[in-house]
Amino acid sequence: MKKTDIIVPVFNEEEGLVMFYEETKKAIAGCEGFDFRFIFINDGSSDNTLQVVKTLSEKDPNVKYVSFSRNFGKEAAIFAGLQASAGDYTILMDSDLQHPPALIPEMLKAVEEEGYGAAGAKRKTGFFSRAFVGLNNKLSNVKLQKGATDYMCMSRPFVDAILKLCETQRFSKGLFAWVGFKVKWLDYEQPERAKGSSKWNFGKLFKYATDGITSFSTVPLTLVTCVGAIVCFLAFIYILITLIQTWIFGIDVPGYVTTLVVLLFMGGVIILAIGILGEYIGRIYMESKNRPLYITEETNIKNEKETKKENNGNPEE
Q: How far is the CB of 102 from Mg ion (least distance, A)?
A: 16
Q: How far is the CB of 80 from ligand UDP (least distance, A)?
A: 10
Footprint (CB under 5 A) of Mg ion, residues 148-207: none
Helix then strand then coil, in percent of the chain rounded to 5, is 50, 15, 30
> How many Å apart are CA 126 and CA 195, to the nearest integer?
22
Cβ-based nearer residue to ligand UDP, 112 or 150: 150
Select from 101, 104, 41, 36 the least CA-distant residue to 75: 41
Q: How far is the CB of 146 from ligand UDP (least distance, A)?
A: 16
Cβ-based nearer residue to ligand UDP, 199 or 308: 199
Phi, psi of 74 (to 5 degrees): -65, -35
Q: How far is the CB of 203 from Mg ion (least distance, A)?
A: 17
Sign of CA dihedral 60, 61, 62, 65: positive
**Residue 91 belongs to what H/E stretch?**
strand 89-92
Compute CA distances 299 → 39, 52, 60, 84, 303, whole Å: 10, 14, 15, 10, 11
Cβ-based nearer residue to Mg ion, 192 or 316: 192
Helix (H) and strand (E) counts for the chain? 11, 8
Give the chain's end-to-end CA distance (angstroms, integer).
6
Footprint (CB under 5 A) of Mg ion, residues 46-65: none
* Count of CB atoms situated within 10 Å of the CB of 163: 13
**Residue 206 belongs to what H/E stretch?**
helix 202-216
Footprint (CB under 5 A) of Mg ion, residues 98-127: 98
123, 128, 134, 135: CA torsion to nearest 10: -150
Contact window for Mg ion (CB under 5 A) among 57-65, 97-105, 149-157, 166-174: 97-105
> How many Å apart are CA 273 and CA 278, to the nearest integer?
8
Q: Which residues bind ligand UDP (CB under 6 A)?
A: 9-11, 13, 43, 71, 73-74, 77, 94-96, 98, 198-200
Number of residues that bind Mg ion (CB under 5 A): 3
Considering the rule CB under 5 A, would residue 311 count as an interface residue with Mg ion?
Answer: no
Q: How far is the CB of 174 from ligand UDP (least distance, A)?
A: 16
199 binds, among Mg ion, ligand UDP, none (CB under 5 to 8 A by kind): ligand UDP
Chain length of the chain? 317
> Do the beta carbons of residue 36 and residue 28 sit within 8 Å?
yes
Cβ-based nearer residue to Mg ion, 96 or 150: 96
Considering the rule CB under 5 A, would residue 129 count as an interface residue with Mg ion?
Answer: no
Considering the rule CB under 5 A, would residue 96 count as an interface residue with Mg ion?
Answer: yes
Q: How far is the CB of 198 from Mg ion (least distance, A)?
A: 5
Q: How far is the CB of 298 from Mg ion (least distance, A)?
A: 25
Q: How far is the CB of 217 from Mg ion (least distance, A)?
A: 27
71 binds, among ligand UDP, Mg ion, none (CB under 5 to 8 A by kind): ligand UDP
112 binds, among ligand UDP, Mg ion, none (CB under 5 to 8 A by kind): none
Contact window for Mg ion (CB under 5 A) among 37-45, 46-54, 88-96, 290-298: 88-96
217, 219, 221, 226: CA torsion to nearest 10: 180
Cβ-based nearer residue to Mg ion, 10 or 133: 10
Binding site for Mg ion (CB under 5 A): 94, 96, 98
